[in-house]
């Protein structure tokens, strides 16, 4: 088996030049196999406030030009340990949510059938549902760590069942999540009522708020999450608004009082060795992202997810 093809050599081609793929990695059609595929889903029809996440895959790829091949925090060279590729974007109907969900599920399933694991760059959080469907088809119901300012377990919004605020309720209803191993991380901000929390608990979710992370510290939170996940196949879904607007201003529904980018990355690194089977990073809205702070943070989150896949347990 040939050695993995890594990023373009930045000592030969400057980082501001060369291919606009994630981390300047090869495209899917340039390799014989792919262990990890970074794929974009430029879709934001499911948002309830500020649109613009359809432009995130391109922005995150551009911000990823500065990523380097060795991860000192995890002591791994993720692009040498596995073949990582940029699989391009899944093109979806921007006018029809149901059709878009079907397209994402089918395209993700086809990529998974090649043996690759996916790190998906959204897009809004609606895309998590079809991605979870495709992963559960291979692994059965999966554990979920959901990093977000919001619960995303509401029933409907303006009568719509499929929005960026409903994917995880639908996923529980469809039986594709292991309800003994579900956690929200980083939630905060006002709700419509206390009933939101009651309904969320009935679905099986535990909650680690951003205040919990601040008061209890990263190490204790990591231990709690690892105990809840155990050895189950794990999907990680990250809404970039889990970060405080100081660290991620470019998002659709910002909330004050969020986690720092350092806290998020350290919690992710604490998951090393878990059975990660897929992940997404969503809700980057470049139009509101001054100095590309949010896109840069998202690119590092995606890099850490790719690195965790290099270190993970059996898929």
Residue 11, SS3? coil
Give the Cα separation of 189 and 41 in Å (integer).
27
Q: Of all helices (H) and strands (E), which one includes residue 110?
A: helix 97-113
Query: Is 150 known to sit in a ligand binding site?
Result: yes
Q: According to the annotation, is 239 in a ligand binding site?
A: yes
Collect all residues with Cβ–Cβ distance below 8 Å to 173 and sequence separation of at least 6. none
CB 20 within 8 A of CB 67: no
Q: Which two tokens stand for residue 192?
A: 């419509």
- The answer on whether 44 is annotated among ligand-binding residues is no
Q: Is 198 annotated as a binding residue?
A: no
Contacts of 80 (CB under 8 A, 6+ apart): 3, 4, 6, 69
Which H or E element spans position 105?
Answer: helix 97-113
Dihedral pair phi/psi, residue 87, rounded to 5°: -90, 15
Q: 40 φ, ψ to 5°?
A: -100, 150
Q: Is the previous residue joined to 123 through a cis bond, with omega within 30 degrees of 0?
A: yes
The residues that bridge with 208 in the sheet, in sequence order, are 185
139 is in an annotated binding site: no
* 71 annotated ligand binder: no
Q: Terminus-to-terminus CA distance in the chain, angstroms?
A: 20
Taking the C-alpha atoms of residue 182 and residue 180, their distance in angstroms, rounded to an integer, is: 6
Q: Please, which residues bridge with residue 278 across strands?
A: 118, 235
* Residues tagged in the binding site annotation: 125, 148, 150, 152, 239, 241
* Residues tagged in the binding site annotation for Mn(2+): 125, 148, 150, 152, 239, 241
């Amino acid at each position: 088996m040939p050695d993995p093809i890594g990023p373009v050599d930045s000592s030969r081609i400057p980082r501001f030049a060369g291919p606009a793929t994630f981390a300047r990695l090869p495209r899917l059609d340039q390799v014989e196999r792919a262990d990890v595929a970074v794929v974009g889903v430029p879709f934001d029809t499911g948002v309830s406030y500020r649109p613009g996440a359809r432009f995130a895959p391109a922005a995150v790829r551009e911000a990823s030009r500065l990523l380097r091949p060795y991860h000192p925090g995890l002591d791994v060279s993720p692009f040498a340990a596995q073949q990582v590729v940029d699989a391009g974007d899944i093109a979806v109907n921007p006018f029809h949510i149901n059709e878009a969900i079907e397209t994402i599920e089918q395209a993700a399933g086809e990529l998974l059938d090649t043996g690759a694991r996916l790190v998906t760059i959204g897009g809004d959080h609606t895309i998590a549902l079809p991605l979870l469907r495709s992963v559960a088809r291979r692994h059965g119901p999966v554990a979920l760590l959901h990093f977000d300012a919001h619960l995303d377990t509401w029933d409907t919004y303006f009568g719509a069942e499929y929005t960026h605020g409903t994917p995880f309720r639908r996923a529980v209803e469809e039986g594709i999540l292991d309800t003994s191993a579900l956690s929200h991380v980083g939630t905060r901000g006002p709700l419509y009522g206390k009933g939101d929390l009651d309904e969320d608990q009935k679905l099986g979710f535990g909650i680690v708020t951003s205040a919990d992370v601040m008061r209890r510290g990263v190490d204790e939170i990591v231990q709690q999450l690892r105990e809840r996940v155990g050895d189950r196949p794990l999907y990680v879904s990250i809404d970039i608004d889990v970060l405080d607007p100081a660290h991620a201003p470019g998002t659709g529904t910002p909330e004050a009082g969020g986690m720092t980018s350092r806290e998020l990355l350290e919690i992710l690194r604490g998951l090393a060795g878990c059975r990660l089977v897929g992940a997404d990073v969503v809700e980057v809205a470049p139009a509101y992202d001054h100095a590309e702070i949010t896109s840069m943070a998202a690119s590092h989150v995606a890099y850490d997810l790719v690195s965790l896949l290099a270190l993970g347990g059996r898929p």
